[in-house]
Structure 1
Amino acid sequence: MSNRAGVKKWGFLLMTVMMVVALLSACSGGNSDNEAKTRVLRVGVLYGGADNEPYFRQQYTDMYEMMHKNIKFEIVGAIDYSQQRFETPNPDGTTTQPDPYEKMKEMLTGQNPVDVVVIDYNMLRRMTQDNLLQQLDPLIQQSKFDLADYVPTVIDGIKAAGDNNIYALTPTFSASALYYNKKMFADAGVEPPTDNMTWDDIINLARRVSSGEGEDRKFGLSINRYSGDPFNDAQNYGAALQLKMWDDKGEKMLVNTSDWESVWTTVSNLYKEKLSPSQEDMNKIYEAQQKLADDSGYYSPITGDLFLSGKVAMTIADYGYINEITNTMNNASKIKNFEPFEWDVVTPPTHSSKPNIGGNIFFSQLMGINQKAANAEDAWDFIQFTNSKEWAELKSRSTYELVARKEYLKPKNGASYNIDAFTTLLPVPPATTDSEKLMREKPGIWEAQQPGYELFQQVIKGDKTVKEALQEWETKGNAVLQRINTSPDGKDGGGTIDVKPLDSSAEAEAVPEG
């Protein structure tokens, strides 16, 4: 090793030690903890096991244990994933799936309850309603724990699940934004999108910026960066509306409604007007790219990405996509026939009836304190530690997750973009019913969704109207639900399905969650 390399190595180690020392000083009250009696802090997670525990410890508990020698963590999994992998299937080929919520509840209320629980956003609402978690607001006030710079997406989203109270905190989150190609808008003479636009606004922009035919077509919008699935696009478009396919008991379809009709009409028109690329459109583009690759012997690393290829002006993607874009732009000179372009992000489009709700926001590491915690004091100290400013500074280097504290949210990789686009909207409220439980009890219920895929394609092709397609889906879906209610695994029954004629007077209102 050269002297210069040695100096660099030791310099890096010294910087790391200095950061840890700074974190120790900021988050620890001194050496009194080290002199106290050893205490156990039990942390409950959904999936435990030998494969998952080391990662969780590395991410969340190792540094705290290093700073607090008298604290020992026990990581308790509600479901042992390593054991579940080896379960013997039932005679029908299925495996018995445990109820995740009930398993988590057992950890909180059993004979040896956990102190801290790590949950996702959907479980937070149910646990607060079942009075399983301690309210954190009094502890926040007593400790003078500063949450002033928590981004609205996180703190307001957490409060929304707890009747405007805080029952858990998360140091990180993931979110999506609307990415747009500045050059395509400039070439079309159209003003680019801005924050807080509605779906109608964005679709109008997509219409104005689209141009060309065939393999030369430039599309205005891709609801999903991977494109090509209109039915999935309709689900993403309507996510904030929380429309249901069937009722809470899985006995009746709820798709033949004016709200479903509005969603299907809007999304199908994106494809009919060729504002969004269909699978057929994508195949034409890929075939042209493949032919070029075959003729020249060069395969472009951006083949398949219509946004980076300059074929789509706007697309919705998660925060991690920034990594892909910046890497591509930084290596533009190495990509044949590729011209780098300026880009930016704005908030995802919203529905006028749900102006502050944006889809694809996830809190996967919410930490709360069990009502029956034996060690609530250390539990709160640990939650403060993982949500501290010092912790946020360390975690801010991630290129795939965002930290909850705005002070440490900075653009990555030398790029300049509107990072607030990821931190403004609220997540879709948690469902008030346990849809996963219904799917466990009636695994064949997804068969009732299948006609929707086929019928939506027929709408796009012009073979059926939206009204006709939704009524046919309702009829076919009800037949499936009736069958699986007598045979929940969906393996018995069968026969033909009669489709009722379209009743133009049938106008049922959609039944949203909550």
Structure 2
Amino acid sequence: MTYWCKKLSLLLVVCVMFTGCSLGGKEQETSDPVTLKVLYYSEEEFYRNYGMLFSTLYPEIEFEVISLQRIYNSNEEDPVKAKQELIEKEKPDLLLIDLYDLETLTEKGKLLSLDTYLARDKINTDEMVPGIIDMMKEIGDGQQYGMPSSFSGRVLYYNKGLFDAHNIPYPSDQMTWSEVIQLAERFPADGEPTDRIYGIKLGYSGKLNEISDMIMSSEGLKYVNEATRQITVNTPAWQEAVELAKKLTDSDTFYRQDQQSSPMSMTYQSYLKQNPFLANRVAMLLDQSYLLRELEEISKLGGDNGDLIKEWDMVTVPVGEQNRDSSNGFFLSEVFAIMKDSPNPEAAWKLISFVADEEHTRLKSKLGFGRGLPIHTKYIRDDAGHHFEAFYKLKPSFNKKAAVENRLPDSFYNEFYWMKDEELQAVQDGSKGLEEALESLQARGEALLARTDASGDGSKPTEEVTETELPAEGLEPSDAPSEGEDLAADEEA
């Protein structure tokens, strides 16, 4: 039986236990049948994640799922526009959307404020992750238009055994990037590259572009000011961030993916050992909450697993020098929202309140954290006493986007990302100095911005487009992150 089959069996048992009962101590209501139109990735995913348990408790509410698969599978040139057109055409009652869509639809006045429902049903948001609720209200200019179902986050995991063996103090919350790099450099760098230990691993590719993005994001640095239409890369702040990233990528304490030796056979243990942190070869790892599942599985293996990590903990992600209380390590991919013109707002709210209820969160937390962390802080924990507060101790950094009419299309950010990758790869290879690379990137970015504005539709420019070699991980140009994101953000999915 697979991992998720076992988890689903547990969920079905829970459903049976609670049939005829109510979550959160609320009495079930009998009402006329209602069909809710729900926008979600797929019908199967919706029922597995939400609809199955909800329908067991509220059989009078049925669902018509408007699947987004048709957009994602059709290679739409502008999937954001296609999604908006689908919403206008199908007119769903309930949406499960990301932050970008939440902000756009809120700004256009398409969503229903949840404040009245929250107050009426006495939903206590004070016990939820505070920064996430604050983010919802910031998007709505003081009102709450969305309710997250869960969140994922990044933390700095560390191997307590390696720190103890080398008499190095553990990392702590709210360390800056400079402090984390200094700590990593205290680990020895002797031995064969494929066998020795390393101080830290960040990201996937280990390229200067990827690592500098992490540092710049924590400092709140942007590629472009959308409102003033100015490229903002050739600055002392950008230069300082890239220099710090280069110091790390040039260091022998930094683990790169090409330092991984391939196993001869693929048992589950050998699969786990492909992650150098789990294999006791990396002292610190910046990674997402999904890693908790593998750490939990290791603790259950038993037997002779001496090569796998035993003692570990986590602290907050590295912070910026000017932003020590905020984090760019929060990810919200599924936020519930009700369309303002929905004919079934009460039924839609019933599903939202069901998901937001503490009892539902308690039950879902028993399935582990593979699908994200609970929105109620009291269930973000384990029996071993690990420092789970690291996931929500910092305030999520969130910068509201420019007004809809000023926003640049994804095609601009995709193309600019690859320009930046090309320029910073030249810096990493030593074929360009950093000042020269930033000057070139500034000029190329300004030319791209002018062409984007002139085209009116964000279409890819036809001149000065250099074909860049795709990275080893096989990303297509359309997979490049938008501003404020990084490649790690998609790994959990």
> TM-score, normalized by length of structure 2?
0.79
Q: Does 1:351 align with 2:351?
A: no
Map 1:95-110 to 2 at 5 A.
95=77, 97=79, 99-100=81-82, 102-103=84-85, 106=88
Partner residue in 1 for 2:278: 308
Deviation at 1:385, TM superposition (A): 1.2
Q: Distance in 2 between matches of 1:427 and 1:298?
A: 35
Amino acid aligned to 2:277: F
Deviation at 1:15, TM superposition (A): 5.6
Deviation at 1:104, TM superposition (A): 6.3
> TM-score, normalized by length of structure 1?
0.76
Q: Distance in 2 between matches of 1:96 and 1:368?
A: 22
CA deviation vs aligned residue, 1:65-99 (integer Å, no higher than 9, x gap): 3333433333335xx53377458xxxxxx856560
Q: Does 1:364 align with 2:338?
A: no
Deviation at 1:258, TM superposition (A): 1.8
Please say if residues 71 and 82 of structure 2, whose CA atoms lie closer than 8 Å, have aligned partners that are also in contact. no
Partner residue in 2 for 1:403: 374
Structure 2 gap ranges (5+): 1-8, 467-482, 485-493
Match of 1:328 among 258, 275, 298: 298
Change in 2 beyond 3 A, CA 1:126/1:426? farther
Q: Distance in 1 between matches of 2:245 and 2:388?
A: 28
Deviation at 1:227, TM superposition (A): 4.8
Partner residue in 2 for 1:268: 246
Deviation at 1:194, TM superposition (A): 1.6
Deviation at 1:145, TM superposition (A): 1.9
Map 1:19-418 to 2 at 5 A.
19-21=17-19, 23-24=21-22, 26=24, 28-30=26-28, 32-33=29-30, 36-45=31-40, 47=41, 52-77=42-67, 80-82=68-70, 85=73, 95=77, 97=79, 99-100=81-82, 102-103=84-85, 106=88, 113-212=91-190, 214-215=192-193, 217-224=196-203, 226-246=204-224, 248=226, 253-278=231-256, 282-283=258-259, 286=261, 300-331=270-301, 333-335=303-305, 338=307, 340-396=309-365, 397-400=367-370, 401-411=372-382, 415-418=384-387
Q: Distance in 2 between matches of 1:371 and 1:265?
A: 48
Comparing 213-222 with 377-386, greater Cα deviation is found at 213-222
Say which SS state the counterpart of residue 209 (structure 1) adopts. Answer: coil
Amino acid aligned to 2:69: Y
Amino acid aligned to 1:76: I
Please say if residues 146 and 337 of structure 2, whose CA atoms lie closer than 8 Å, have aligned partners that are also in contact. yes
Change in 2 beyond 3 A, CA 1:105/1:307? same
Please say if residues 154 and 287 of structure 2, whose CA atoms lie closer than 8 Å, have aligned partners that are also in contact. yes
Structure 1 gap ranges (5+): 1-10, 88-93, 497-511
Comparing 242-251 with 65-74, greater Cα deviation is found at 242-251
Comparing 183-192 with 474-483, greater Cα deviation is found at 474-483
Partner residue in 1 for 2:462: 492
Deviation at 1:332, TM superposition (A): 6.6
Say which SS state the counterpart of residue 348 (structure 1) adopts. Answer: coil
CA deviation vs aligned residue, 1:422-447 (integer Å, no higher than 9, x gap): 1222333155146997445xx47644
Amino acid aligned to 2:58: H
Q: Distance in 1 between matches of 2:106 and 2:406?
A: 19
CA deviation vs aligned residue, 1:395-421 (integer Å, no higher than 9, x gap): 11133111111232332xx65411111
Q: How many pairs does the alignment contain?
A: 453
Change in 2 beyond 3 A, CA 1:307/1:332? farther
Q: Distance in 1 between matches of 2:464 and 2:332?
A: 41
Q: Distance in 2 between matches of 1:480 and 1:187?
A: 51
Say which SS state the counterpart of residue 238 (structure 1) adopts. Answer: helix
Q: Distance in 2 between matches of 1:475 and 1:468?
A: 11
Deviation at 1:490, TM superposition (A): 4.1
Amino acid aligned to 2:248: L
Say which SS state the counterpart of residue 164 (structure 2) adopts. Answer: helix
Q: Distance in 2 between matches of 1:485 and 1:13?
A: 51
Please say if residues 189 and 196 of structure 2, whose CA atoms lie closer than 8 Å, have aligned partners that are also in contact. yes
Q: Distance in 1 between matches of 2:21 and 2:277?
A: 41
Higher-Rg structure is 1
Amino acid aligned to 1:39: V
Q: Distance in 2 between matches of 1:495 and 1:173?
A: 37
Q: Distance in 2 between matches of 1:313 and 1:13?
A: 36
Change in 2 beyond 3 A, CA 1:322/1:72? closer
Please say if residues 350 and 356 of structure 1, whose CA atoms lie closer than 8 Å, have aligned partners that are also in contact. yes
Match of 1:470 among 419, 422, 438: 438
Please say if residues 170 and 365 of structure 1, whose CA atoms lie closer than 8 Å, have aligned partners that are also in contact. yes
Alignment root-mean-square deviation, CA: 3.7
Change in 2 beyond 3 A, CA 1:458/1:210? farther
